[in-house]
Amino acid sequence: MFAYIIRRLIGAVILLFVVSMVTFAIFFLVPRIAGATVEDMASRYVGKTADEAAIHSMAERLGFTDPLYEQYGRFVAGIFAGADYDTGAEVVHCPAPCFGYSFITRNPVWPDLVDRMGVTISLALGAAVIWLAFGVGTGVVSALRRGTFFDRASMGIALAGVSLPIFFTGLLSLTIFSYGLGWTAPGGSYTDFAEDPLQWAGALILPWITLAFLNAAGYARLTRATMLETMNEDFIRTARAKGLNERTVVVKHGLRSVLTPILTIFGLDLGILLGGAVLTESTYSLPGLGKYAVDAIVSNDLPKVLGVTLVGATFIIIANLVVDLLYAVVDPRVRYS
Amino acid sequence: MTDSKEDLLAGDAARPSNRPDEAFLQVRDLKVHFPTDDGIVKSVDGLTFSLDRGKTLGIVGESGSGKSVTSLSIMGLHKQGTANISGQILLDGQDLVTSTPEQVRELRGKRMAMIFQDPLTAMHPYYTIGAQIVEAYRVHHKVSKAVAKKHAVEMLDRVGIPQPDKRVDDYPHQFSGGMRQRAMIAMALSCDPELLIADEPTTALDVTVQAQILDLIVDLQKDFNSAVIIITHDLGVVAELADDIMVMYAGRSVEYGNSHEIFTAPQHPYTWGLLGSMPRLDRERSERLLPIKGTPPSLINVPEGCPFNPRCAFAGLNGDLSTTERPEFREVSPGHHIACHLSGEQRQHLWDTEIKPKL
């Protein structure tokens, strides 16, 4: 088991390197292959009226004139050892882990990422609690009351849930509850949990519910399908034959077996969300990693894009590892060696 | 179809015990019908038998003859609302058909227990063998987990599992097939049930292990003095074990008698067919087995008259009686009942000239 974890961790680090290389290549190598000169690339980061000399000096300062492997090496070295950056006016030390400076705002990327991680984690975890409770709960009840009004209604709603995009349900909920009824905070507001937990929850309640609605729908359908299958298993009949009451049969014997598939998709979903709930954050203007990524891409701020991609990839890789390890906890038949 | 009054009469005549009111388990005119979109599936249609403590009844028949449905009805394990059950199932005088699900649940596991066909799928893969036995014991006994676990170890020891104190913490997948079935038996017997139903207990097992499991059931029955029902399509299984044998066809009993008579002097053409299709090591090898032609009938449209008539080689011997009238289930010799239109002489003649020489 221990050796397995070590092996997976080494694999994770290698994977992160590959992700960083590919991302780096996409933004720094591909434009060059496509024929852009270093000046073309630098011209995005100087004023519109800048002359050629200014553009060239900007290209040099951003390091575009160095060979690509050197640029990449500098980026990686910065993450592990920190780096010194020439911002034009002065040379600033950027402590490890240094993901570089924004080409546009000159702010270091890492503190931004840390800042926004809090928002994204708040959003993702809160929504996860809601969608797990409602999704799995609805799925179980639907399976046990298959064909009833509850089953049909909830599966209908679930179908709507998976079909309706966040930018629709999100905007609709904002229109009604925030701007129409005034029950919740308007879009764009966010308070740190440490500052005021009530306001924190108040600002996140709509995004939570909207995001949870989308995911709960999928979980309800998955839980229902798995539960229906499980309740027809022989071991459920055995449990009944022992004289267990129906509640114990359903919860201890039925639901227990549904855990594995739910764990699988939950790990992946959470990992992806922690890397940035792009649509939800954009719709509600929440300053999280997803919004950060979108803003970075729109403004072509390459260090930000690199940073947010790596953080997102890290979350997904960790989530996958945790899920794989939890399999062994949930299912005694799974053994790692 | 026949009306229920006739069935009841047939049922009364069919009661094999001399002390009908004292038998531990009495099933009277049991009908289990499943309404489906295609029609009513009459899985069990007027079944009557009884069983004393310490006795073993073998129920034999092809797939779909109603064997398992009968056992699940006794255990009350049909899904709520799917089956229409009528008739009487008296367990020590208590009618399980009219009892509430909660009352039947309290009996399940405690006074009646069941062993299933495939012990791998019948045990929960995520819980240890011990935990599953402990659970079965603690449903009906208010004892601590430690006491229940000690009991589980004793039960595992009793069914012949080596190192029971260690194996008790193993998961089902860590057991071999035979050991798993032993554990399953330990679980079923953990509350000392008075009725044990074994639904094809050896079908999923290795042939070499089958005999061991059957021996174990016999041994345990002696110790626990329980009534045992063994359901099987394998006549070899019941040959050794059962005191009485009931042959089922299309949801009804077609022959009932003590084990020795069923094997040495069977009376019903269907039983002849079953015996003919069974490979025997104790006889000279014949050219080939004699399968029963055709397939079991649809339980939605059971053939008119005798349900076996489309497959019966002797259905024409009594004019069109076999296709028009359902044969009564009657006693042909003490304790031996059959449902067949053939007269005693006809059967004796056929058995002597056509059937026995070929077996």
pLDDT band with cut points at 50, 70 and 90 for residue A58: confident
Q: What pLDDT is stored for residue B122 in this prediction? A: 92
| pLDDT above 90 for A105 | no
Number of A/B CB contacts below 8 angstroms equals 67
Q: Is B124 at the interface with chain A, CB within 8 A?
A: yes
Q: What residues in A contact B106, CB-CB < 8 Å?
A: 243
Read off the tokens for A265: 């998709």
Within 8 A by CB and 6+ apart from B345, the residues are none
What separation in angstroms does the CA of B197 have from each of A186, A259, B223?
Answer: 66, 32, 16
Measured CA to CA, the distance from residue B121 to residue B21 in angstroms comes to 38
Report the run of H or E that residue B300 belongs to, with start and end: none
| CB distance B254 to B242 below 8 Å | no
Tokens encoding A300: 């072509």
SS3 B258: strand
Interface probe for A, chosen from B126, B155, B187 (most Cβ of A below 10 Å), is B126
Q: Is A106 left (phi over 0), alpha (psi -120 to 50) or beta?
A: left
- The pTM of this model reads 0.80
Name the percent of chain B lying above pLDDT 70.
92
Locate the DSSP E strands across B8-55: 25-36, 39-51
**Lowest-pLDDT choice from A47-56, A134-143, A253-262:** A47-56
3-class DSSP assignment, residue A242: coil
Question: Which of B114, B126, B188 minimises the CB distance to A332?
Answer: B126
CB atoms near residue B224 (< 10 Å): 17
Closest CA–CA distance from residue A317 to any residue of chain B (Å): 27
**Is residue B290 exposed (0-12), middle (13-18) or buried (19+ Cβ within 10 Å)?**
middle
Classify residue B71 by burial, with Cβ atoms within 10 Å: 0-12, 13-18, 19+.
buried
DSSP letter, residue B174: G
Of A308, A315, A302, the closest CA to residue A288 belongs to A308
Which long-range contacts (C-beta less than 8 Å, at least 24 apart) are formed by B316-319? B317/B342, B317/B346, B318/B342
Q: Is B123 on the interface with A (CB under 8 A)?
A: yes
- Three-state DSSP class for A234? helix
The dihedral sign for the CA sequence B240, B241, B243, B244: negative
pLDDT, position B283: 65
Q: If you average pLDDT over residues B217-225, what whole number do you get? A: 86
Of A202, A169, A121, which is closest to residue A283 (Cα–Cα)? Answer: A169
CA B308, CA B331: separation in Å to the nearest integer? Answer: 19
Contact list in B for residue A148 (CB cut-off 8 A) is none
Rounded to an integer, what distance in angstroms lies between the CA atom of residue B97 and that of residue B47?
14
| Residue B247 contacts residue B259 (beta carbons within 8 Å) | no
- Give chain A positions within 8 Å (CB) of B118: 234
Q: Determine the residue type at A273.
A: L
Chain A contact set for B121 (CB, 8 A):
233-235
Q: How far apart are CA B229 and CA B221, in angstroms?
A: 11
Which pLDDT score, from 0 to 100, does residue B219 have?
85
CA distance A204 to A185: 8
> Is B139 in Cβ contact with A234 (below 8 Å)?
no
Among left, alpha and beta (phi > 0; psi -120 to 50; other), residue B200 is left
Amino acid letter, residue B309: N
Which among A233, A243, A333 has CB closest to B121? A233
**Residue B248 pLDDT > 90, yes or no?**
yes
Closest CA to B166 of B192, B128, B138, B121: B128
Nearest to B114 among A241, A245, A330 (CB): A241
Residue B35 forms beta bridges with which residues? B40
Position B17 scores a pLDDT of 40
Q: Report CA Rg, chain A.
A: 25
How far is it, in rounded angstroms, from Cα B297 to Cα B303? 7
- Of A95-99, A162-166, A267-271, the range with the lowest mean pLDDT is A95-99
| More confident: B15 or B344 | B344
Count the neighbouring beta carbons within 10 Å of the beta carbon of residue B288.
6
Coil, helix or strand at residue A36: coil
Residue B58 has pLDDT above 90, yes or no: yes
Q: Does B121 touch chain A (CB under 8 A)?
A: yes
Asked whether the beta carbons of residue B124 and residue A238 sit closer than 8 angstroms, the reply is yes
Helix then strand count (H, E) for chain A reads: 15, 2
Which pLDDT score is estimated for B230?
93
Please give the Cα distance from A8 to A12 (Å, whole number).
6
For residue B141, give how far its alpha carbon lies from the nearest alpha carbon of chain A (Å).
Answer: 12
Sign of CA dihedral A195, A199, A205, A206: negative
For residues B297 and B303, the answer to whether their CB atoms sit within 8 Å is: yes
Judge: B107–A243 Cβ closer than 8 Å, yes or no.
yes
Tell me if A144 sits within 8 A of A223, measured CB to CB.
no
Query: What is the per-residue pLDDT across B18-39, written as a single tens digit (0 to 9) for each?
Result: 444 578 999 999 999 999 999 9
- Examine the pLDDT at A92 and tell me if it is beyond 90: no
Give the C-alpha separation, B124 to A333, whole Å.
11
Q: How far apart are CA A204 and CA A192, in angstroms?
A: 11
Q: Give me the helix-helix angle, A68-81 and A2-24, nearest 10°.
A: 140
Contact B116 A242 (CB under 8 A): no
Contacts of B187 in chain A (CB under 8 A): 238, 242
Name the residue in chain B with its Cα closest to that of A329.
B126
Q: What is the mean pLDDT of chain B?
A: 86
pLDDT > 80? residue B329: yes
Token digits for A324?
């794989």
Express the helix, strand and coil content of chain B in percent, nearest 5 each. Answer: 40, 20, 40
User: Which pLDDT score, from 0 to 100, does residue B287 have?
Assistant: 63
Amino acid at B293: K
Tell me how crowded residue B8 is: count the other CB atoms within 10 A of its CB: 15
User: What's the mean pLDDT when you consider all of chain A?
Assistant: 86
Contact A257/B at CB under 8 A: yes
Mean pLDDT of A248-276: 89
- Using alpha carbons, list the distances in angstroms from residue A288 to A66, A117, A177, B150, B285: 33, 6, 22, 56, 81
Task: Give CA B112 to chain center in angstroms.
Answer: 14
What residues of A are in contact with residue B114 (Cβ under 8 Å)? 241
Residue B84: which region, alpha, beta or left (left: phi > 0; alpha: psi -120 to 50)? beta
CB B122 to CB A243 under 8 A?
Answer: no
Q: At residue B176, does pLDDT exceed 60? A: yes
The pLDDT assigned to B284 comes to 66
> Per the CB < 8 Å rule, is B139 touching A238?
no
Q: Please give the ipTM for the structure prediction.
A: 0.84
Query: Quick check: B75 and A241 CB within 8 A?
Result: yes
Displacement of CA B101 from its chain's centroid (Å) = 22
Cα(A288)–Cα(A296) distance, integer angstroms = 12
B2: confidence class by pLDDT, cuts 50, 70, 90: very low
Give pLDDT, residue B6. 41
Task: Give the separation between CA B261 and CA B282, rounded to whole angstroms.
Answer: 17
- What single-letter DSSP state applies at residue B319? T
